[in-house]
Structure 1
Amino acid sequence: MTMIEGHIVPKVPDGVPVWDVDPYDPTILSDPQAYYADLRAKGPFAYIPRYGVLACGRYAETKEVFGDHTRFVSSRGVGLLDFKLEKPWRPPSIVLEVDPPYHAKTRTVLARALSPKAVAQLKEDFRDAAGKLVDELLEKGTFEAVEDMAEVFPVRVFPKAVGLKQVNRRALVDYGAMVFNALGPDNAIRRTALAKAPDIVPWIMEQCARENLETEGFGATIYAAADAGELTEEEAGMLVRSLLSAGVDTTVTGIGSALWCLASFPDQFERLKADPKLARPAFEEALRYTSPVHTFCRTADVDAEVSGVAIARDTKILCVLGAANLDGEYWPEAERFDITRRPTGHLAFGTGIHGCVGQNVARAEVEAVLSAIAEKVGAIDLTGEAVWRPNNAIHALDRMPLRFHPK
């Protein structure tokens, strides 16, 4: 048995092209569009020998693999490592990296904590915070969009919603980036991220303990489930930590990507200003167009077949969500950013039972931000180059200088 990056190297399926590419090359991670197009052109799947994986980037196959939890499981890790064969650097997520029936128990608790009713109660706070932040940035003039807005807003509102008493912006943002970088190979990006773990992880664990949370908030709801016997105390703590690993960095990325889209396509910003109700569709289109989560893995738990390709049990599959969301065979004029598109079915929030449980919170946060911008900002100027940060699972901006002009 040959292994690469902690998983079994499969036999190349008949008819599948072998492609000598490194999808984790920093240049590809920073500017992936050509890689996405090449992957789709290879056919339903391509075999990447550098990592011993199949990769899919067309919409149909990616959605099928990503959404079929019976054949292609998450419990063996959503990164390259196969948890069945090797121990991960941290305990597996008891939402993202488990399968039914255990998955139903933890997801039920999280869904209750993040219910539409609970999120609705936060929307006014989100709107107030977004309006104040936009006012601050209008007064400031030129600002750094990632540091001054994309990172600021989620850290102002989300830890409070969870119930954290202490907030450390750098630790919260870096924790999410670290978790997502760990899904990739043992490259310099992953090693640099994990080097921060001794400083960050103990602080995160301490803040997520019951005694360090407010008596109201998402965290309190989760610990109440432990009191009711639905979870253990340890499981409750893990769920609260999962909120911080998945609920901050991805929203930071989503806000940054939406700002980049509106700055890069001023005609679409004009549409948003004319009809601020397009804030939500604008965010959905930004998710489709930029795919903040660019790649997640699945593992074939049985011998399977997809689009005529025989996939052997134990095969790791890269589901390249960024490529699927730009598939012109599914999305008309896929390369065009259009906030009137209403792209129902994009894969940025996942699909099937592993669809992002916190997507309602992310939507409420970013809708508040985009609505405030539409109301208060007359024009958005890129005042320098937008630079994207290489990450093994997240397509995120590193920096982007902007200027908001008042209406």
Structure 2
Amino acid sequence: MTATATSPGQGAAPGVPHLDFDPFSIEFFADPFATHEELREAGPVVYLDTYGVYGVARYAEVHAVLNDPLTFCSSRGVGLSDFAKEKPWRPQSIILEADPPAHTRTRAVLGQVLSATAMKPLRSHFAARAEAKADELLARGSFDAITDLAEAYPLSVFPDALGLQQEGREHLLPYASLVFNSFGPPNRLRQEAIERSAPHQAYVAEQCRRENLVPGGFGACIHARADAGDITHDEAPLLVRSLLSAGLDTTVYGIGATVYCLARFPDQLAKLRSDPTLARNAFEEAVRFESPVQTFFRTTTREVELGGHSIGEGEKILMFLGAANRDPRRWENPDRYDITRRTAGHVGFGSGIHMCVGQLVARLEGEVMLSALARRVGSIEITGEVKRRYNNTLRGLESLPITITPA
């Protein structure tokens, strides 16, 4: 279903185009691109009658909202729910659902724990695991690029880096999926995720406690910052939880998106094979092109002018990150996957103070895994039915059967 203009409804500022479609429907998730274009062309700001919220789909407005956290706050929820009016389904995130100055303090701790300096010692181990995974897959020839690669590789390195116990790791992906589904409306995806969530939530709560984390991992480092007085001992497990939510799915969906792109665009795989140092950029361009994180909300803290329209206080703004990442006003040939593109500035990991906290981990894993494949793989062929995974926030695949041949 495409977006169509409708007569003005309640709540919208005068002159804002009204669009009548459900941005959380399976129909939209299956193929959002035509609607993304309609959203961008309708105007810099639109009003979505289905949920009574504003929407921004052009790069300039999405970037502006992401980079003004005092006007467009996160503490009232980064999903459709307004925490000023309803209770969150779980205790609020002290990173994702927080504003300065509270956010500044907790974010600084995660920034140090996950800094570029902290990533350096991990690189050789992550790369070795990536080489081993590439060799294993090449020996098999045919496999599912989602379960056997995009999920299997991050699960083989990230939980160890975090310092998680071996037992119970099967809860990690369902938990992250639940968190991202919860940002949507009370539709079937959200309701079913929350109904199934008890064991996943219990596992995560238990794993975030200090005594259950292996010394030397990211989790233990966060608890050590509580000893130093940078955060409280009550905040430490909540910060570990934020890392569990944000550190895995971004990587899984990013690697899955890149393999899917390289399988569909063999000319780009050829470029990557001839220059494996393009691995990092191949990953970044896939994150722009496919936008694994499609949407996030903010709430206005005051009356503000956006895109030439005056929007009141307490209004929800839905940012279409995927649409912004293909806005022709910002990108040349935006619907083309090009691993030599300058991708700096894409909003696939967000932007501003709330930029994805797990981005450095995701980028490291994406780079070393794709680099290992680039040096070994001659061709990637899709050999079965591609199945999409539906989520209120994330866009990715459930299954991608492929066959790879050696270089």
TM-score under structure 2 normalisation? Answer: 0.96
The CA distance in 1 between the partners of 2:93 and 2:261, in whole Å, is 32
Q: One-letter code of the match for 1:245?
A: S
Q: Does 1:49 align with 2:17?
A: no
Give the alignment's Cα RMSD to 1 decimal.
Answer: 1.2
The CA distance in 1 between the partners of 2:204 and 2:73, in whole Å, is 28
1:168 Cα shift?
3.6
The CA distance in 2 between the partners of 1:343 and 1:167, in whole Å, is 38
TM-score under structure 1 normalisation? Answer: 0.96
| SS of aligned partner of 1:214 | coil
Contact 2:247 2:357 in 1 (8 A): no
Specify the alignment match of 1:25 in structure 2: 25
Cα deviation digits, residues 228-287 of structure 1 (max 9, x gap): 122222210011111111111121111100110111111000000000010111111101
Superposition map of 1:265-284 within 5 A: 265-284=265-284
Q: Does 1:102 align with 2:106?
A: no
Q: One-letter code of the match for 1:228?
A: A
1:167 Cα shift?
4.8
The CA distance in 1 between the partners of 2:250 and 2:167, in whole Å, is 17
Gaps of 5+ in 1: 1-8
Cα deviation digits, residues 65-97 of structure 1 (max 9, x gap): 122101101111000011111110011111111
1:10 Cα shift?
6.7
Q: One-letter code of the match for 1:165?
A: Q
The CA distance in 1 between the partners of 2:327 and 2:379, in whole Å, is 31
The CA distance in 2 between the partners of 1:262 and 1:209, in whole Å, is 40
| SS of aligned partner of 1:55 | strand
The CA distance in 1 between the partners of 2:273 and 2:186, in whole Å, is 45
Contact 2:243 2:357 in 1 (8 A): no
1:169 Cα shift?
4.3
Q: Does 1:150 align with 2:150?
A: yes
Deviates more, 1:209-218 or 1:160-169: 160-169
The CA distance in 2 between the partners of 1:169 and 1:47, in whole Å, is 41
The number of residues matched between the two structures is 399
Cα deviation digits, residues 88-124 of structure 1 (max 9, x gap): 0011111111010001110011011101111111011
Deviates more, 1:60-69 or 1:176-185: 60-69
1:355 Cα shift?
1.2
Specify the alignment match of 1:302 in structure 2: 302
The CA distance in 2 between the partners of 1:55 and 1:352, in whole Å, is 19
The CA distance in 1 between the partners of 2:176 and 2:265, in whole Å, is 29
1:139 Cα shift?
1.2
Q: Does 1:166 align with 2:183?
A: no
Contact 1:30 1:389 in 2 (8 A): no
Deviates more, 1:339-348 or 1:169-178: 169-178
Specify the alignment match of 1:69 in structure 2: 69
Report percent identity of matched pairs: 50
1:358 Cα shift?
2.1
Q: One-letter code of the match for 2:74?
A: S
Q: One-letter code of the match for 2:18?
A: V
1:189 Cα shift?
0.6
Contact 1:10 1:314 in 2 (8 A): no
Q: One-letter code of the match for 1:290?
A: E
1:378 Cα shift?
0.8
1:170 Cα shift?
3.0
Q: One-letter code of the match for 1:195?
A: E
1:347 Cα shift?
0.3
Q: Does 1:293 align with 2:301?
A: no
Q: Does 1:330 align with 2:344?
A: no
Indicate how the Cα distance of structure 1 residues 169 and 141 shifts in structure 2: closer, same or farther if over 3 A, else same: farther
Specify the alignment match of 1:208 in structure 2: 208
Specify the alignment match of 1:345 in structure 2: 345
Cα deviation digits, residues 139-186 of structure 1 (max 9, x gap): 112111111111111111001011112254431111100000000000
Superposition map of 1:4-403 within 5 A: 11-403=11-403
Cα deviation digits, residues 346-395 of structure 1 (max 9, x gap): 00111111112221111000001100010111111111232221110111
Indicate how the Cα distance of structure 1 residues 167 and 114 shifts in structure 2: closer, same or farther if over 3 A, else same: farther
